[in-house]
Amino acid sequence: MKIKFEEDLAYQLEAINSITDIFSGQNSNKTLFTVERKSGTLNFGTVENELGIGNGLLLFPEEILENLNNIQLRNGLPKTKTLKKDNYNFSVEMETGTGKTYVYLRTIMELNKKYGFTKFIIVVPSIAIKEGVYKTLEITKEHFKSLYDNVPYDYFIYDSNKIDMIRNFAVNDTIQIMIINIDSFNRDIKDIDEKDEKAIKKANVIYRERDQANGYRPIDYIRQCNPIVIIDEPQNMETDTAKKAISQLNPLCTLRYSATHKDRYNPVFKLDSIDAYEKQLVKQIEVATVGVTRNANTEYIKLTNVKASKSGISAKLELDVKSGNSVKRKEVTIKLGDYLNEKTKRSIYDGYIVNEITYVEEDQSKSFVDLGKVKLTLGQVNGGENPDVIKRLQIRKTIQEHFDKQKRLKNRGIKVLSLFFIDKVANYRTYDTETGEVQKGKYALMFEEEYNKLLELPEYQEMGELSVPFHQRASLAHDGYFSADKKKSKSGKEYFEEKDTKGNTNADNDTFNKIMRDKEKLLSFDEPLSFIFSHSALKEGWDNPNVFQICTLNETTSEMKKRQEIGRGLRIAVNQKGERVRGFDVNTLTVMANESYEQFVDSLQKEMEDDE
């Protein structure tokens, strides 16, 4: 099954035209830019030099500024007053899920069609986004070929071991698209003592002279191309080092695409969360509760830490503390003799006094505090709910919501997916160090137990892959995408042990490749896998339109990360023909939120609904 791309979405065409119109007038001078060469004729919009072929711009800054102001006027954006050649940075704001990657790839095609530009570099901040862009280039190839009369174009991921690709990028006169991670070139060899051979060897390969490049540096080939640089998620590349590295590419201009810009440079187009929601371009968001909520009128106490130091033994408790007119759960440091009612400014903690704190070095799990009314060991909770109870209920609610939506949407040809974000890989999957055999972690066990319980209910007996034996349905319905290291068991057997990562290591490459390779497969009813567990791999870069549930089994404090994670489920769903199915009657994202998420999702939904 292939996802079909729509060519006439008005907001996407507006975004594309907002960039291409910056160069209005370039095409009227195209006859002045045709030069003869041995192998034929160079197109307008290109120039030739000793290292290859580059983009050529005929417009003056004053003409670019006039075009820019006209675009800003029609799009209701702040007007740029001055514009210099070294400040050709233009920002496009597009809400997650509205086709940002598609828009800038199609903009490449339009810039070539209208003005003859051929050299483009897409700079990304992470492995995940790099693989996501490459996958989009793969699945849009037929679409773009049909739209642009089979225009030839090449695309590749920069690889420091394949310098010939850089030379081909420079010398070819067809559209060339390079995808490069900022980490591949964010160190300038000019900042290094040229006599320091060790330092030079540690510098990015892109800045080193290479025999394969006839003694030139790869960056020399790139710079002469005057590439149009597209920055995906620029808010992650706003450091001075990153900015300097991007300037080393010698861009003709820089186009910045994001839903959450940190700095806006000469804005040309804006489609924010409110616009996207009102136009039903993304799913609406709802928050589901699991039936167990924090009761602020019970004495919630959790022992989170006990430590010994030169100054003595101390501990930390998680308590419900009065803050203004509300109560917030906070971590509080305690010592002997402390009264918890004074620490929290709440009378429900009357009678709780820190009588003893004991630190057990040989087994820290046995460390404890004696509070008079209760004695707690490390990690133990008094009041509230056991965290694992809440997580089990979150998992059950996710499966239930999934089943309900799948029953409703199956006749419309839509397969439902659910996504779990977890705190530790080991909570989902572990390995026996003796044999290397895979073992199920507590989340996997919870999932299968709750899945099978729900399948036994009359209203859900039709769910699951009916060709699969009942006892196997749960195990086939879920899987995890995690990065892995090769290990050897004590018996000598080699195996891959999955691990927690931040999504930016070499070990993550295979993970992202697998995710992208399975993207369309997951949309088919023939594939029983419907529930996906992830640690970090899916927070950005992976976009599957049929994620209808997100369950947060992790604790995330960063609002940016929460927005990225929720963004995995905002895209409009597709049916078995790969066609988008619009309307909020279909497109609702349900978030099974923990406490750190619940308030954030509520405010995000309110932001979408209240256009103030």
> Using CA atoms, how far apart are residues 365 and 359, in angstroms rounded to an integer?
9
pLDDT band of residue 535 (cuts 50, 70, 90) is: confident
Residues 550-563 have pLDDT tens digits of 998 876 556 666 67
Residues 511-532 have pLDDT tens digits of 555 556 667 888 988 888 899 8
> Using CA atoms, how far apart are residues 155 and 172, in angstroms rounded to an integer?
12
Query: Cα-Cα-Cα-Cα dihedral of 302, 307, 312, 314, to 10°?
Result: -20
Quick check: 540 pLDDT over 60?
A: no
166 contact partners, CB below 8 Å, separation of at least 6: 158, 178, 213, 218, 221, 222
Say if residues 514 and 128 touch (Cβ distance below 8 Å).
no
Look up residue 548 and give its two tokens: 């209808």
> In the chain, count of helices (H) and strands (E)?
17, 28
Greater confidence (394 vs 500) lies with 394
Greater confidence (158 vs 191) lies with 158
> Using CA atoms, how far apart are residues 409 and 546, in angstroms rounded to an integer?
11
Phi-psi region of 506 (alpha: psi -120 to 50; beta: other; left: phi over 0): alpha
Residues 91-143 have pLDDT tens digits of 999 998 899 999 999 999 999 999 999 999 999 988 878 888 998 999 999 99
380 contact partners, CB below 8 Å, separation of at least 6: 302, 303
Quote the pLDDT of residue 503. 45
> Using CA atoms, how far apart are residues 477 and 463, in angstroms rounded to an integer?
11
Look up residue 23 and give its two tokens: 């160069």
* Torsion 460-464-465-470 (CA) sign: negative
Quote the pLDDT of residue 353. 94
Residues 31-69 have pLDDT tens digits of 443 433 333 344 667 788 778 899 999 899 999 999 999
Quick check: 480 pLDDT over 60?
A: yes
* Torsion 234-230-169-63 (CA) sign: negative
Strands (E), 208-341: 228-232, 253-258, 267-271, 284-288, 301-309, 312-323, 326-334
Section 351-361 average pLDDT: 92
Quote the pLDDT of residue 287. 83
With H, G, I as helix, E, B as strand and everything else as coil, classify residue 106: helix
Say if residues 214 and 171 touch (Cβ distance below 8 Å).
no
367 contact partners, CB below 8 Å, separation of at least 6: 306, 315, 358, 359, 360, 377, 378
Spatial CA neighbour of 256 closest among 246, 539, 187: 246
Look up residue 155 and give its two tokens: 């695309």
Quote the pLDDT of residue 219. 84
Across the strands, what pairs with 590? Answer: 286, 549
195 contact partners, CB below 8 Å, separation of at least 6: none
Least confident range of 318-327, 377-386, 548-557: 377-386
pLDDT band of residue 465 (cuts 50, 70, 90) is: low
Share of the chain above pLDDT 90, in %: 41
Residues 219-233 have pLDDT tens digits of 888 999 999 999 999
Quick check: 425 pLDDT over 70?
A: yes
Quote the pLDDT of residue 538. 52
How many whole angstroms from its chain centre is CA 312? 44
Least confident range of 256-260, 300-304, 471-475, 594-598: 594-598
As a 3-state breakdown, the chain gives helix, strand, coil percent values, each rounded to 5, of 35, 25, 40
277-303 burial, b at 16+ Cβ within 10 Å, e below that, comes to beeebbbebebbebeeeeeeeebbbbb
Say if residues 174 and 153 touch (Cβ distance below 8 Å).
yes
Residue with tokens 């004495």: 299
Quote the pLDDT of residue 602. 61
Spatial CA neighbour of 567 closest among 583, 586, 591: 591
Quote the pLDDT of residue 90. 97
pLDDT band of residue 406 (cuts 50, 70, 90) is: very high
Alpha carbons within 13 A on the beta-carbon side of 487 = 20
| Highest-scoring range by mean pLDDT, 38-52, 208-222, 489-503 | 208-222
> Using CA atoms, how far apart are residues 462 and 403, in angstroms rounded to an integer?
10
Quote the pLDDT of residue 10. 95
Residues 570-608 have pLDDT tens digits of 899 999 999 999 999 999 999 887 655 556 566 665 555
Section 341-351 average pLDDT: 91
Q: Average model confidence (pLDDT) for the chain?
A: 81
Q: Report in angstroms the alpha-carbon separations of 49 from 116, 343, 377.
A: 17, 72, 73
Alpha carbons within 13 A on the beta-carbon side of 264 = 15
Domains observed in the chain: 12-271 (3.40.50.300), 284-290+387-609 (3.40.50.300), 301-382 (no CATH)
pLDDT band of residue 430 (cuts 50, 70, 90) is: confident
Say if residues 170 and 224 touch (Cβ distance below 8 Å).
yes
Under DSSP, the state recorded for 400 is: H
Look up residue 3 and give its two tokens: 């996802």
Greater confidence (385 vs 427) lies with 427
